Structure 1
Amino acid sequence: MFGLGKRTSFDVPCTVEIEQTSETLHAHVVLDGDIEIGPGDEVLVHDAPTHVDFGERLVVRRTATVVRAGLLDKIRARFEGYRELTELYEVSFSTGRVQ
């Protein structure tokens, strides 16, 4: 059971892009290097901007802390993902009319 809940973390530089225009509204974080984020992992961007005015695009460099999930966190994240996915499968064959 040793190490089942153990979480490790490290800091990495990243690029944050936020855009709010009539064509798009998005926020993206791109971590430097070839870092793969898996189920249950967390990424915390330090001093991340939270607002951009309409019609503007903001690109900034920041530092992010990546927290790797322990084994139990990975299992829980996968289970919750499957559970939420199955909710999308729920289909009703009723006419939709209330009688």
Structure 2
Amino acid sequence: MSPGLLSRLAGGRRFEVPCTIDIEQSFDSLHAHAIPEGVSLRPGDRVLVHGLPASIGHGEAMRFEARATVIRAGWLERAWMEASAILELTELYHCGFEPKEAP
């Protein structure tokens, strides 16, 4: 098997990109968003963000720039992620549509 074919199937290609980080811990919102710049993420890709604060205080919001490493998923991992996402979505169809049992 050629190295190019193996890398397309297995994935694992890594590269660094700039990343915008938005963190808030307040009464209105509790979130943390990492937005990699200049790259389109696909199913199964992983993003490792470098230089994040260990914690932020209640009522604080932070927005800053950092570096992130994107690890590309291979074809097999991407196909598995897409298939499992569809199967998990179908579980939502069963919620709330079953008739109530008579007492």
Shared fold per TM-score greater than 0.5: yes
| Percent identity between the two aligned chains | 39
- Corresponding residue to 1:52 among 53, 56, 59: 56
Q: Which consecutive residues of structure 2, in runs of 5 or more, have no partner in the other structure? A: none
1:23-46 alpha-carbon deviations (Å, 9 max, x no partner): 11111112222x110101110101
Total equivalences in the alignment: 97
* Higher helix content, 1 or 2: 2
Within 5 A, what are the aligned runs for 1:11-90? Answer: 11-33=16-38, 35-90=39-94
For the residue of structure 2 that corresponds to 1:22, the secondary structure is coil
Structure 2: how far apart are the matches of 1:96 and 1:23? 39
Aligned letter for 1:16?
I
TM superposition score normalised by structure 2? 0.82
TM superposition score normalised by structure 1? 0.85
Structure 1: how far apart are the matches of 2:53 and 2:91? 33
Q: Which consecutive residues of structure 1, in runs of 5 or more, have no partner in the other structure? A: none
